[in-house]
Structure 1
Amino acid sequence: MVIGTFFVVLTLITYVRVLVSYPGKAIHASPLSLSAPTSFPRFYYSPRLLDPKSMQRRQDLEEANETTSLLPVVSISKNDGLPRYCDSCQCYKPDRTHHCKECNACILKMDHHCPWISGCVGHKNYKFFFLFVLYCAFYALWVLGTTIPTVVEAMNDEGASLDPQWIVLLVLAFVFGMTLWGFAGVHGYYILNNQTTIEHISQRPNEVRIDFDTSGHNFEIVTTHHDDNLWDLGHDRNWRSVMGRNPWGWFCKSFFLFWMQDR
């Protein structure tokens, strides 16, 4: 009973965290054109141009020049070199951002739209979604493991009557357990390989823009195969980019400190 209650509590807490955590949306901005005057950087979301802690533009870029170590800068663009722009949301689409028709918004690092949370799973709530699925799978497995002995004992006892509810519970625990374990395994694989569901099933190539100086005009467009994983940093860094740097925060910290950031 204690173990079952433990997993129920964890499941409920992570579910609430998914509901209250914002997936992240792109910022509204006016569209640019290739002929318009440009200043470095014109592709606002390249990771090398941001401070990894504050996620704000790096201060040393103010004096950036053609010999700076930041060059060349790589970003995802359209085939004409312009940043990807969403006419519906009127915003630039950072790398890995997709427009969700159900939410009518551009979601950062969108994985999928989930009807169970009535919203999208994206950059800021993916960790809690994964933990919700994982702990729900653990609970289903625990229910399955504790129900089987009861059902077997009742079937072997000729004088005992087997309540049909136990059979229903056994079937549901098996179906949900196997389904959720498969789902958790798939998303664990995505995290370790720094992929999203959309990227994994996509058949569209990426247009990669490479800028060689700060003018905004000296660049080249490279088309990559849809199977190329552009974001893979190695299993360890991939995992930490989603679950956090502190191992204690991977599974415990977020449950007790609801609003503390652990990255």
Structure 2
Amino acid sequence: MALSRGLRWCQRIFSWVPVVIITAVVLWSYYAYVFELCLFTLSNPLEKVCYLFAFHVCFAMFIWTYWKSIFTLPSQPSKKFHLSYTDKEKYENEERPEAQKQILNDIAKKLPVYTRAASKAVRFCDWCQVIKPDRCHHCSVCEMCVLKMDHHCPWVNNCIGFSNYKFFLLFLAYSMLYCIYVASTVLQYFIKYWVGEIHNDRAKFHVLFLLFVALMFFVSLMFLFGYHCWLVSKNRSTLEAFTSPVFLRGPDRNGFDLGALKNLEQVFGKEKKYWFLPIFTSLGDGHFFPMRTQSESSSPLLSTEHQWEDGRSDEETNPLQIEDQAVRIEMET
């Protein structure tokens, strides 16, 4: 037990190594740009002021979004999705798999759960003892179920999901902006150092590596950011891009695709003035997501969500019945 606890602490300590590396590189880039380039190399005062002002704007947005990506805790399923003491005891005492499956089905009827496991069973996490909401997955690194989990990112030492996916996207965008700004403003002085117009060996070293590091990070971030932009346009997570979510009607990779604009609003919200700020504006609470088909996203389904939130009885509305009706409507059409 003590050994296991010690290994867990070592794992947690080493998990911060990528964050420390990124932080060290960013701090060095700040010193190299502000001091070695702007203060020690540039001679025009107006040029210094313009360079420093634009740099600090990019730097501030980059740091803000990186901080939010790291320290925004992943959202977990609410208590409504946890088994009660009675249900948990009943589930654990039952040895027959089919009977356990039926117990979970009965509990899930009271919840807005529309996706299933590949076996069509209700998705249940044995570690967290929770019925998984749609698009929720268990992260083995964080040791918790995460709402709308996208992936676990070692560079922010955090699980990217419903609570911080917008922050992560903005972090990638402002990282690219930071890199391209640094590279574009450093390039002309790199050339001047290279042809011998400016003689400062120490600054030359910093400018050389500043350009190289900025371009290297920009290229790698460009592909990652482009991939996530494609995911947002399709309303998919990274996990859903590899494994399609399963509904009662079967697997459907585009099950949550509402169209490009609505997909964008799911992550960034309806207020466009907040889209570029690391402020949480995503729609919903992470437990329920509108679905693609008209029969699934119609008012009866939304009514189901509100009734679940209000704590009404499952006799008034049954999510599984609505899903079955949706399947029959699709088959008829």
TM-score, normalised with respect to structure 2 = 0.58
Cα RMSD (Å) of the superposition?
Answer: 2.5
Pair 1:37–1:233, CA change in 2 (3 A): closer
Pair 1:38–1:86, CA change in 2 (3 A): closer
1:34 aligns with 2:102: yes
1:242-261 correspondence runs (5 A): 242-252=267-277, 254=279
1:184 matched residue in structure 2: 225
1:84 matched residue in structure 2: 123
Number of residue equivalences: 213
Secondary structure, aligned partner of 1:34 = helix
1:148·1:170 contact (CA, 8 Å) conserved in 2?
A: yes
What are the Cα deviations for residues 127-181 of structure 1, in whole angstroms up to 9, with x where unaligned? 0111011101100111110111001122233674552222111110110111112
1:115 aligns with 2:142: no
1:97·1:106 contact (CA, 8 Å) conserved in 2?
A: yes
AA partner of residue 197 (structure 1): T
1:144 aligns with 2:166: no
Q: How many Å apart are 1:12 and its aligned residue?
A: 1.1
Q: How many Å apart are 1:88 and its aligned residue?
A: 0.8
Higher-RCO chain (CA-CA 8 Å, sequence separation at least 6):
1
AA partner of residue 149 (structure 1): Q
2:148·2:161 contact (CA, 8 Å) conserved in 1?
A: yes
C-alpha distance in 2 between matches for 1:79 and 1:96: 14
C-alpha distance in 2 between matches for 1:167 and 1:79: 53
1:249·1:262 contact (CA, 8 Å) conserved in 2?
A: no
1:246·1:262 contact (CA, 8 Å) conserved in 2?
A: no
C-alpha distance in 1 between matches for 2:195 and 2:254: 54
1:44 aligns with 2:69: no
Which stretch of the first structure deviates more once superposed, 80-89 or 111-120?
Answer: 80-89
What are the Cα deviations for residues 196-232 of structure 1, in whole angstroms up to 9, with x where unaligned? 1111123xx54322xxxxxxxxxxxx3326xx32110
Secondary structure, aligned partner of 1:251 = coil
2:240 matched residue in structure 1: 199
Unaligned runs of 5+ in 2: 1-51, 92-99, 284-333
1:169 matched residue in structure 2: 210
Greater helix fraction, Structure 1 or Structure 2: 2
Q: How many Å apart are 1:34 and its aligned residue?
A: 1.9
AA partner of residue 212 (structure 2): V
C-alpha distance in 2 between matches for 1:207 and 1:136: 35
**Matched-pair identity in %:** 28
2:137·2:149 contact (CA, 8 Å) conserved in 1?
A: yes
C-alpha distance in 2 between matches for 1:262 and 1:229: 20
2:68·2:278 contact (CA, 8 Å) conserved in 1?
A: no
Counterpart selection for 1:224 from 238, 246, 251: 251
2:165 matched residue in structure 1: 126
Secondary structure, aligned partner of 2:102 = coil
Q: Which of 1 and 2 has greater Rg?
A: 2
TM-score, normalised with respect to structure 1 = 0.73
